[in-house]
Structure 1
Amino acid sequence: MSESFLNIALDNLDNEHLCCAIADKKHQCGVAAKKQWLKERIPEGHVFRKLDQKGKVFIEYAPLETAWVPIEGDNYIYIYCLWVSGSFKGKGYAKSLLSYCIEDAKAQGKSGVCILSSKKKKPYLSEKRFMEKFGFQVADNIGEYELLSISFNGKEPSFAENTKIQSYNSNKLTIYYGLQCPYIPNCIEQIRNFCMDNQIPVEFIQVDSLEKAKAVPCIFNNWAVFYNGKFETVHLLNEGYLKKLLYH
């Protein structure tokens, strides 16, 4: 197994690919937005570490205090995304990336590491069984979503109180979104066009600050969907998934 990894930094950000949207033209607007977002996050201690090859192999994490998620904890690291796909699976890359994150947290004197997961595997979320192999346990849960953590000192993180609201006072399709994921701008375009063509009321709420992210009234990793006032999913929606949500 090649152990050639690199961390995205301000001096190489413009020239490095971001793994999950390497060459897909429809996501290049999202890549540009993500790189601008990273330029502001990296000085806060945000880490984007990837395999130094053309593939989807990376981990992204940050100090919980500056992580754009409605999760609270004393001196934790939060993992936004751990992704190994395609032909890169089964080579130990996920283990290497996660081990690096855990050791980095220990070196920084952190209380532990946490990540959003679920009781049953969901798209865009790390698999619970894999995380448990490294000692992660359920620190908190809301319905089917679970906050997993590995604690170095007995302290545990938790979902912020506002995440338990799980509702929004509107019957419109309502989407909270950030610009951390390169897929999001194209998802918004597809949803907006479909809703316009089908006379479906829709509202987009951009989460463009740390304060807004900490105050989202539901589970949120960079995306959250409400329909008929009820929280539905953190699953990114393109036109196909939107139809399943609306017409199931």
Structure 2
Amino acid sequence: MDIDFVNLTIENLVNEHLCCIIRSKKPHPGIDAKKQWLSDRLKEGHVFRKLNAKATVFIEYAPLETAWVPITGDNYYYLYCLWATGSHKGKGYGKLLMEYCLADAKEKGKSGVCMLGAKKQKSFLSDQSFAKKFGFEVVDTTDNGYELLALSFDGTTPKFAQNAKKEEIESQELTIYYDIQCPFVYQNMETIKQYCETNDVPVSFIHVDTLQKAKELPCVFNNWGVFYKGSFETVNLLDIPYLKRILKK
């Protein structure tokens, strides 16, 4: 299959779109923030590979040691995102992207590839049933149903950091940990802020702006983590109906 893919680099980052939110004319704070974040991550071996078209078809992964997630392990890749949506779904692009990641990991002598999943598929996490077709297996779990999936090449396995299994904080108000990796984060924050201001709901947003902060988080994390009444709720971005369900607890 002769498919044209492109990897983002420091040189082409300014001119390439990011797949999730494709805009060519209007500035977008989420895109600008993600590109700034990527400009530093690419130097660390972070990979963003996409179909060379105006489409949401891409994979994003990084060395686990520098991946902004509370997962520990030696010599692994962490797979943040793998998406092929809309009219481009079902054409084999996801398979090609996953095969690229696995081949890259083997070429670089990695011990394997891991990703965040859940017993029940979450909307903002890559399709774990798809990953399992390549041999990914559950290697660690949390009490509230999140799973760490891994494809090991040498028998070693990563695990959730112990702090990620805590799933509790002292604050009782709505608390959201976030980083700027996902272009949708900014607009989701604005939606939540407006609702909370209108309805007098206290809310705190905690910017995870360093690798150390990400590794020390008290919950699983892919770029977003929500707590309410001291308990961890979800890694999903929130629409208003979902937010209302949380606030009723």
Task: Using structure 2 for the length normalisation, give the TM-score.
Answer: 0.96
1:157 aligned residue: 158
Q: How far has the Cα of 1:23 moved from its partner?
A: 2.7
**Residue type of the partner of 1:116?**
L
SS at match of 1:14: coil
Q: How far has the Cα of 1:192 moved from its partner?
A: 1.0
- What is the count of residue pairs matched by the alignment? 248
2:113 aligned residue: 113
Whole-angstrom distance in 2 between the partners of 1:27 and 1:201: 30
Whole-angstrom distance in 2 between the partners of 1:25 and 1:205: 31
Q: How far has the Cα of 1:121 moved from its partner?
A: 1.4
Whole-angstrom distance in 2 between the partners of 1:153 and 1:182: 35
Q: How far has the Cα of 1:43 moved from its partner?
A: 0.4
1:136 aligned residue: 136
Compare 216-225 and 187-196 and name the one that shifted more. Answer: 187-196
Whole-angstrom distance in 1 between the partners of 2:197 and 2:26: 20
Question: CA deviation digits over 1:19-54, x for unaligned, max 9?
Answer: 001139998110000000000100000000000010
Q: How does 1:54-65 map to 2 (within 5 A)?
A: 54-65=54-65
Root-mean-square deviation over aligned CA pairs: 1.5
Q: How does 1:28-177 map to 2 (within 5 A)?
A: 28-142=28-142, 143-177=144-178
SS at match of 2:181: coil
CA 1:22 to 1:157, structure 2 compared with 1: closer, same or farther past 3 Å?
A: same
SS at match of 2:14: helix
Gaps of 5+ in 2: none
State percent identity of aligned pairs.
Answer: 58
1:209 aligned residue: 210
Question: Is the Cα contact below 8 Å between 1:112 and 1:153 reproduced in 2?
Answer: yes
4+ residue segments displaced more than 6 Å: 24-27
Question: Is the Cα contact below 8 Å between 1:176 and 1:204 reproduced in 2?
Answer: yes
Whole-angstrom distance in 2 between the partners of 1:126 and 1:16: 22
**Residue type of the partner of 2:214?**
A
Whole-angstrom distance in 1 between the partners of 2:25 and 2:121: 29
Whole-angstrom distance in 2 between the partners of 1:53 and 1:202: 39
SS at match of 2:114: strand
SS at match of 2:242: helix
